[in-house]
Structure 1
Amino acid sequence: MPFSRLAPLTLAAFFALYLIWGSTYLAIRIGVESWPPLLMAGIRFLLAGSLMLAFLRWRGQPWPTAAQLRGAMLLGVLMPAIGNGLVTVAEREVSSGVAALVIATVPLFTLLFAGLFGHKARKMEWAGMLLGVAGIVLLNLGSSLRASPQGALLLLLASAGWALGSACSRKVPQPAGAMGSAWTMIFGGLALLLSSVAVGERLQAWPGAAGWSALLYLTVFGSMLGYSAYLYLLKTVSAAAATSYAYVNPVIAVLLGAVFLGEQVGGQEMLAMAVIVAAVVLISWRR
């Protein structure tokens, strides 16, 4: 459907994903300079989800059923915990722009996991998948990820976790509307905080203004606004359209990283970005 025919709320949701989520990579990169990554991600999602839940209960929203809570728990582990938590860990070693380039492969993994739920891929989608794999290989040959194989692995696992959660979101029972966003973030935040304790993270020093500002931005815009917009789009538009933020986020992240942090992305990484974006376009292409 052309953008001119979309409802204003749907357009606003796309805007949130394209621009706000593109800027979260910069905020994460700034935040991990002051916070342990799993701790920061856990606080971010638990705080965002708890604030949303309190507001919804104040508005009279009913409690979800046990089955809906189990579905929200599954999505919370796959998406906020694995999908975003591993990105946060990886950005201690990898630049924000390169992290966004790897996460652009989410639609490729989404197509792969959609086959588990009965989706039969078209020839164009298979062509996009093969092109995307080539882009991943090209990206990993560049200096940015070759110097950090652990960062590359974490980012690919994050992409796979987020994509699996996106594919499951249409099948598993979950609380309706914003209540689903709130509980998914609460469960994801709890999983991240438990992981932080398990690996022995410690806050070495009290974060400064930059660290607190990054956490606040990620909580309000990246989580409460951005995540709710994503779950809304998953229910109202096709999965291909909902994951189309992957076209724009890498460009926004690379530009912001270069302007504010002086990050350098080489020619090979830029070529890999073009290949990955082209692959996502092929997967999402409709006549």
Structure 2
Amino acid sequence: MQAISSSVSPTPNRVTLWSALVSVYILWGSTYLFIHFMTEQMPPLYMAAMRYIVAGGILYTYARLTGTPRATRIEWQSAGIVGVLLLTVSNGCLTLGIQYIPTGMAALLGGMLPVFLLTLNWVSFGRQRPTNLALAGLLVGLIGIFFLIKPDKLQGTRGVHANVLGSSLVIFGNFAWAIGTLLAPRVSLPSGTISSGIQMIIGGFVLLVISLVMEPVTPWSILVAPPKAIWSMFYLVIFGSIVGFSSYAWLARNAPPQLLSTYAFVNPVVAMLLGTFFAGEVFSSQSLIGAMIALAGVVLITLGRK
């Protein structure tokens, strides 16, 4: 992702490798449910802002205390741009979208991120034509999305308009995440941990400003948040933003890309199971068929990468 080195260790420990992979599978798959819990009784943008400000502050402080040099002004600006794309726009849209659609569906739509990465890298950033297998996966994935978000394929939402609105927010967030991911290697960023901290701090504060304008909150509304929202936020700070991201960063340096990309297939399954058992979300059989078609497209895209 955005602040990850491209160097690869030749012989990663197998136990460490699979521990990190399972961590990304479970922890990132669970974040959708905890975003739902965090925002049940609190404004979504405000709570997302608090999450990233706290997590970014912890990462930045840790980086400085362990000897990481200060970032330059250019590095602050570059990290800020990437942070706004990834956290303010992408995760802000995800947090809003979960207010309208089940968490499992949001995770499945998130699994379509490779579609946007493939397309943007083809038409803009890398000018690299995908393989025929990847193009077939793109078509299959889009067909799956159509069946997944078609209003009569989902139960338990607030209605047709809510389904379309929530899905559109999540899809647009994936688009912003793809832009931020492809932009990151092309700008000047500081070293990994401090870069992630800066991205979270700036992305969080921009999200806070938007929240103060759009939502009925003050900077101190966190003091009156219910315990469930607070504990969910700290779960996301520790296990989603710090442990989960650290595991992903380690995998990006040590694991084959094909193995790492499998998180896009597993996270939706974890999110759907947790949403069904703990949030009472109900999916029709036709929704699940659409989800399987969409994930089949992701698999083809991954297998078709050069």
- How far apart, in 2, do the equivalents of 1:188 and 1:231 lie? 19
Equivalent residue letter for 1:249: N
Equivalent in 73, 76, 82 of residue 75 of structure 1: 82
Q: Which residue of the partner structure matches residue 187 of structure 1?
A: 202
DSSP-derived class of the 1:157 partner: helix
- Amino acid in structure 2 at the alignment position of 1:176: S
* Alignment partners' CA distance in 2, 1:187 and 1:235: 25
Determine if contact 1:38/1:85 at 8 Å carries over to the other structure: yes
Deviation per CA, 1:137-179, whole angstroms, max 9, x where unpaired?
A: 1111123573422111101111111122122222222111211
Alignment partners' CA distance in 1, 2:133 and 2:189:
32
Give the deviation of 1:253 after TM superposition. Answer: 0.4
Aligned to 1:120: 129
Q: Determine whether 1:173 maps to 2:188.
A: yes
**What CA distance in whole angstroms lies between the structure 2 residues aligned with 1:81 and 1:6?**
34
1:138 aligns with 2:147: yes
Between the aligned partners of 1:90 and 1:55, the Cα distance in structure 2 is 32
Contact kept, 8 Å, 1:138 with 1:269, in 2: the verdict is yes
Query: What SS is found at the alignment partner of 1:15?
Result: helix
Please state how far the C-alpha of 1:45 moved relative to its aligned partner: 0.5
Deviation at 1:230, TM superposition (A): 3.5
The change in CA–CA distance for 1:108 and 1:6 in structure 2 (over 3 A counts) is: farther
2:227 maps to what in 1? 209
* 8 Å CA contact 1:44, 1:189 repeated in 2: yes
Q: CA deviation at 1:33?
A: 0.8
Residue 170 of structure 1: SS of its match in structure 2? helix
* CA contact 1:181–1:228 (8 Å) conserved in 2: no
Task: Name whichever of 225-234 and 235-244 sits farther off.
Answer: 235-244
Contact 1:31 1:210 in 2 (8 A): yes
Q: Which aligned pairs between 1:14-93 and structure 2 lie closer than 5 A?
A: 14-93=21-100
Contact preservation (8 Å) 2:12, 2:254: no
Q: 1:13 to 1:171 in 2, by over 3 A?
A: farther
Unpaired runs of 5+ residues, structure 1, are none
Corresponding residue of 1:284: 302
Determine the C-alpha separation between the residues in 1 that align with 2:234 and 2:207. Answer: 17
Q: Which residue of 1 aligns with 2:275?
A: 257
- Name the aligned partner's letter for residue 190 of structure 1: F
My pick for the range that moved more, 176-185 or 127-136, is 176-185
Q: Provide the C-alpha distance between the structure 1 equivalents of 2:222 and 2:29, rounded to a whole number of angstroms.
A: 29
Stretch moving more, 203-212 or 29-38: 203-212
* Partner-residue secondary structure (3-state), 1:173: coil
Which residue of 85, 94, 109 corresponds with 2:101? 94
Q: Which residue of 1 aligns with 2:243?
A: 225
Whole-angstrom distance in 2 between the partners of 1:75 and 1:233: 21
Q: Distance in 2 between matches of 1:80 and 1:89?
A: 12
Give the Cα–Cα distance (whole angstroms) in 2 for the partners of residues 25 and 39 of structure 1. Answer: 16
CA RMSD of aligned residues (A): 2.4
Deviations 1:201-238 (A, max 9, x none): 32599222211110110111111122344445456667
Name stretches of at least 5 consecutive residues in structure 2 with no aligned partner: 1-10
Distance apart, 1:256 and its partner CA? 0.5
3-state secondary structure, aligned to 1:34: coil
Shift of residue 7, structure 1, vs aligned partner? 4.2
Q: Determine the structure 1 residue equivalent to 2:175.
A: 160
Give yes or no for the alignment of 1:150 onto 2:165. yes
Query: Identity over the aligned pairs, expressed in percent?
Result: 31
1:85/1:49 CA distance change after superposition, 3 Å: same
Amino acid at match of 1:117: F
Pick closer, same or farther for the CA change 1:243–1:171 going to 2, 3 Å: farther
| In structure 1, C-alpha distance between the alignment counterparts of 2:141 and 2:211, rounded to whole Å | 32
Query: Which amino acid is the alignment partner of residue 89 of structure 1?
Result: L
**How many residues of Structure 1 are paired with residues of Structure 2 in the alignment?**
284
The code of the aligned residue for 2:290 comes to: A
Q: d(CA) in 1 for partners of 2:187 and 2:249?
A: 13
